[in-house]
Amino acid sequence: MLGLFGTLSMANRSLQTQRAGTEVAGHNLANVNTPGYSRQRVDIDTSIAIPSEMGPQGTGADAVGIQQIRDVLLDRQIVTETSVRGAYEAKQKALQLGQAALGQQIDRQATGAAGSAAASGIGGQHGIAEEMSDLFNAFRGLAASATSMPARQEVIKTAQDLATQFNQVSTRLANLRTSLNDSLASDVAQANLALSDIAKLNEQIVAVEIGTPAKANDLRDARQKRIEDLAKLVNITTTANPNGSVDIAIDGVPLVVGPIVQDTLETYDAGGGQFLVRTVTGGTTLNLTGGTMQGTIDARDNDLTTLQTSIDTLAATLISEVNTVHGAGFGRNGTSGEAFFTGATAADIGVNTNLANDPWMIQAGGVAGAPGDNTVAVQLGQLADVNHAALSNQTFQENYGQSVAALGQALNGTNTQLTNQQLVENMLLRQRDSVSGVSLDEEMTDLIKFQRAFEASAKLIVTVDELLQTVLSLKR
Amino acid sequence: MRVTANTFPNSLLQQLNSLSQRQNKLQNQAATGQRVQLPEDDPVAMHRVLDLQAEGKAVNQYQRNIARLQEVATDSFTSIKALKTVSDRAREISISADGLKSQDELNIFANEVTQLIKRAVHTVNAKNQGDYLFSGTLSDQAAYVMTTDANGNVTGVTYQGNTTLAESEIASGVTLGPYTIGENNSGSGPRGLITDNRVGADFFNHLISLQNNLLAGNVAAIETTDRANLSQDEDNFLYHLGTNGAIQSRLETTNAIADQRTDTLEVLVSKEADADLAETLVRLNQTQTAYQAALQSAGKILGSSLLDYLR
């Protein structure tokens, strides 16, 4: 038998147990909007029964622990999918910037010079396509008016516009490359910070959990959040240890082992401004397969490099072809052999200043001293329709259109993949929220439940107190 | 499925975000009338539209070239017609100048022929936008220069141009020259307007010969030689008038084809790039309704809580 004092003690423990329940519900309520928080439950067990004449007799209940409601499988999947999403997001961002750098769009409402209607309702293009079209049309116009100064000025103006457009696109793409390298370095710095945080949290978790079955729930939440932060930056492999710590490895290279950061990340120039990621101490080049770092590198080294190369090849072929034809012609003042374009790539293409200063020097004629001869101007105009070997047997326009379409396809594909990936990740997050998320309704109900139990336990104390007073009054 | 405190707000945010993106895209399509604006919208269509627009702009340039060539052809036609009028009068004089005319009358005819030569030289030196029309590609030089003696009679008219014709593109890979050269005695190439040894045309020399024979009273030479020579010149003018007409007709036909091509290109570009406004607006309406429904339902759900019922 417990006796009155035993019952009083039981009521006291019951109060503590119900209060623990109230505290956990309160903790859950306080963290309802905390990112990465998993709901907790107090584990209540019946106290050890004591033998009595009636058999084993219950002695109430004890709060034996606080349990975190978490699905490890879901957590691991979310870490993996976060890496994939990070890669697509970074690639999308880089390609969108590439698209903006190219500046190519269709404007069906476009108007021509001084607000006049654009080419019979087909609209304008904006970008290299329009300027290139204008140049060849200016050559064709010059052929029809070989002795016209305005026609020659139009050729110079359109050529300068095209050259400027090439220069700007090239500069923007080069700046974008630099920005992507900076972004990669920033991601690496954040990843190193996350590695350090995870190691510290490992240390704290092990210190709290050592020698006790209790879990460092909030620390584990914080660590899981940092692991997911890291996974968004770079694909990682996690290994849970029996002591509660988690090891982190990238591309098979262990970076965090228990409480120790064994190695960190850094960027390095693999040549030609191609910044990659390697470990600092081991110097191992990492083959990244996910995360924003990989997305950035992928966009930079594939689609954007292809775009820049194709724009350079286009500019180089244009310079070479136009100069070859133009060089063989004769200017109005008898000059010959002058280059039309200067430079060798999109970055430095320009119009020969001699021609710009004196458009009569444009070598439109095929023979000297015949101002009405337009043979070379006709040939220059016809270059637009010629398939060039250097451009995979395409015309200038076709080749440029293909470059634009290739970038568009890469971005369009990434958009679709990212949308799909977000759907997958959202489903997983919803599932995790369903398991680990805090429900206000549940917590409020629990609060009432524990409050009522607390009140009942208090009532037990009052009752036992009255019983004790009755017993004590027997002596009077 | 267990629904927690953040399930609703998170789902609502995702739904509203998705609907906002769709509304933005549809509104943009409705405002611009375009389905494709950027490469990412539809890369294949973008590629096709760029090619079609480049072709459209080239066709427009060809039409501007055609207009320019038509102007040259029309001016050339006017000059050739005027030369034909001169030729007609010279032929009339050559017929009128028979043995019944006195020397005074022949002198008056000779004076008229001299004036006709000067008029013809002036006509054949016609310019268009600063370029001499009949000098070949030596368009900065007058086609013909004339020399006269002390009495004002024409002693010679010399061609200063060349035998090269400038041609311009009027369609992709198609070139056409509306010009006519003054003289070609090389035996090949374009036919000369004034002089061409293949057809016996040598208008100025024939006129000078007529002028001189009239002054000399050599009526027999006029009858036997000048009249026949002038007839050959007249045939040559008729040939050039016909050729010019054919060129103008070809230019008009090419222009009409270019017009049709522009219309076709407009349709093709529209098919690729334009949004179906009716469909776009219906879908925009649907999306707006869904957005409002999401806001309204969420407002009701988020607004009610167990806390409202607890004291």
What value of ipTM does the predicted structure carry? 0.89
Give the model's pLDDT for residue A475: 76
Separation in Å, CA B138 to CA A375, B38, B153, B168:
13, 49, 28, 16
Partners of residue A143 in chain B, C-beta under 8 Å = 65, 168-169
Q: Average pLDDT for residues A306-330, to the nearest whole number? A: 97
What sign does the dihedral A149-A151-A155-A157 (CA atoms) show?
Answer: positive
Mean confidence (pLDDT) of chain A? 93
Q: Is the pLDDT of residue A113 over 50?
A: no
- Residue with the bigger pLDDT between B257 and A213: it is B257
Residues from chain B contacting residue A34 (CB–CB below 8 Å): none
- In this predicted model, what pLDDT tens digit does every residue of A423-459 receive, in sequence order? 999 999 999 999 999 999 899 999 999 999 999 999 9
Span A16-43, average pLDDT: 94
**What pLDDT, on a 0 to 100 scale, did the predictor assign at position B309?**
81
**What's the whole-number mean pLDDT along residues B80-92?**
96
Between A108 and A64, the more confident residue is A64
Contact across the interface for B53 and A124, Cβ inside 8 Å: yes
pLDDT computed for residue A121 by the predictor? 53
Q: What angle do CA B265, B267, B273 make, to 5 degrees?
A: 95
Tell whether the model's pLDDT for residue B259 goes beyond 80. yes
Structural domain boundaries in chain B: 52-266
B183-184/B195-196 β-pairing: parallel
pTM for the model: 0.87
Counted across chains A and B, CB pairs separated by less than 8 A come out at: 224
Q: What is the pLDDT of residue B177?
A: 92
Average pLDDT value for residue range A178-193:
97
Residue A110: list chain B partners with CB under 8 A: none
* Confidence at residue B311, expressed as pLDDT on a 0 to 100 scale: 66
Give the tens place of pLDDT for each residue, B176-194: 999 999 999 999 999 999 9
Q: What is the structure's pLDDT at A353?
A: 96
Pick the CATH number of B52-266 from 1.10.10.10, 3.40.1160.10, 1.20.1330.10, 3.40.50.1820: 1.20.1330.10
Given a cut of 50, whether residue A117 has pLDDT beyond it is no
Is the pLDDT confidence value at A115 over 50?
Answer: no
Find the mean pLDDT for residues B97-112: 92
Is 60 exceeded by the pLDDT of residue A118?
no
Tell me what pLDDT residue B226 has. Answer: 95
Asked if residue B15 has pLDDT above 50, the reply is: yes
Mutate to test the interface with A, among B34, B35, B41, B46 (most CBs of A within 10 A): B46
The reported pLDDT for the residue numbered A400 is: 96
Given this model, what pLDDT does residue A306 score?
A: 96
Range B236-251 average pLDDT: 97
Question: What integer pLDDT is reported at residue A214 of this predicted model?
Answer: 85
> CB-based contact (8 Å) between B279 and chain A?
no
Of the ranges A45-54, A150-159, B55-64, B134-143, which one carries the lowest mean pLDDT score?
A: A45-54
Q: What is the pLDDT of chain B when averaged over all its residues? A: 93
Interface with chain B: mutation pick from A108, A111, A382, highest number of B CBs within 10 Å? A108
Residue B75 contacts A where some CB pair is shorter than 8 Å: no
Residue A110 confidence (pLDDT) above 80: no
Tell me the backbone φ, ψ of residue A55, rounded to 5 degrees. Answer: 105, -175
The pLDDT score that the predictor gives to residue B8 is 84
Mean per-residue pLDDT, A363-384: 94
Q: What's the pLDDT score for residue A217?
A: 93
